[in-house]
Amino acid sequence: KAGVTQTPRYLIKTRGQQVTLSCSPISGHRSVSWYQQTPGQGLQFLFEYFSETQRNKGNFPGRFSGRQFSNSRSEMNVSTLELGDSALYLCASSLEQTWDEQYFGPGTRLTVT
Amino acid sequence: GENVEQHPSTLSVQEGDSAVIKCTYSDSASNYFPWYKQELGKRPQLIIDIRSNVGEKKDQRIAVTLNKTAKHFSLHITETQPEDSAVYFCAALNNNAGNMLTFGGGTRLMVKP
């Protein structure tokens, strides 16, 4: 089985711009979670999607949003980028629930200048 | 919400020695506790997990113990090898309160040959 893939792998954006990141889960996995990883804050949960519905949301501002498509692929969007949004964004997929084994993608490294 | 603290933040051991990483959690209803290993520049990978109905789980050189009363759980690695060098993250989840994994801050383990 192919693993979780994320595109793009690296991204440089300017403050105020917006960005869309993509995640393709393992075939058959229906739950997709997104995390932000930074040296200072560690791994923080952004949101989780299941069957095209946001099932859970972490403590992030409304500038962070996401969606899931019928094939379980997911996108996350960050609008009005701030310098503090620079981070590694990881997605993880699991069969149905986040307490099923989660498989992480390689991440998208976002740098905001 | 849940809060997970992880100690130590860095750990240096000699090859062949044991390593222990400890985590405490705040939500007494949390019932799923995974551990992830993240090598430099790579994605996190699940190495072992434990659910609240068991006190200990072992997989070859890796074991996890859970003390629900004290609300802490620990990762034990025996006979450490240089390839065990990585950052280890603990996490906790209450599956009756959503699918949100809360991570500890991570432990950088260095195994010296």
As given in the structure block, the two tokens for residue A79 are 């609008």
pLDDT of residue B54: 85
Q: Give contacts of A98 with chain B, Cβ < 8 Å.
A: 93, 99-101
As given in the structure block, the two tokens for residue B21 are 């990483």
**β-strand partners of A48:** A33, A56
**What are the φ and ψ backbone dihedral angles of B83, each rounded to 5 degrees?**
-70, -5
| CB of A81 closer than 8 Å to CB of A17 | yes
Q: Give contacts of A59 with chain B, Cβ < 8 Å.
A: 1
- pLDDT exceeds 70 at position B47: yes
- B32: nearest CA partner in chain A: A99
Encode pLDDT of B10-34 as tens digits: 999 999 999 999 999 999 989 999 9
As given in the structure block, the two tokens for residue B3 are 């809060």
Encode pLDDT of B54-94 as tens digits: 899 999 999 999 999 999 999 999 999 999 999 999 999 88
| CB of A73 closer than 8 Å to CB of A22 | yes
- Measured between alpha carbons, how far apart are the two ends of chain B, in Å? 41
pLDDT of residue B33: 95
- A42: nearest CA partner in chain B: B105
Distance of CA B26 to the CA centre of its chain: 16
- pLDDT exceeds 80 at position B95: no
Q: Do B99 and A99 touch (CB under 8 A)?
A: yes
Q: What's chain A's average pLDDT?
A: 94
Stronger pLDDT, B99 or A81, i.e. the higher one: A81
Chain B contact for A101 (CB, 8 A cutoff): yes
> What's the mean pLDDT in B41-45?
93
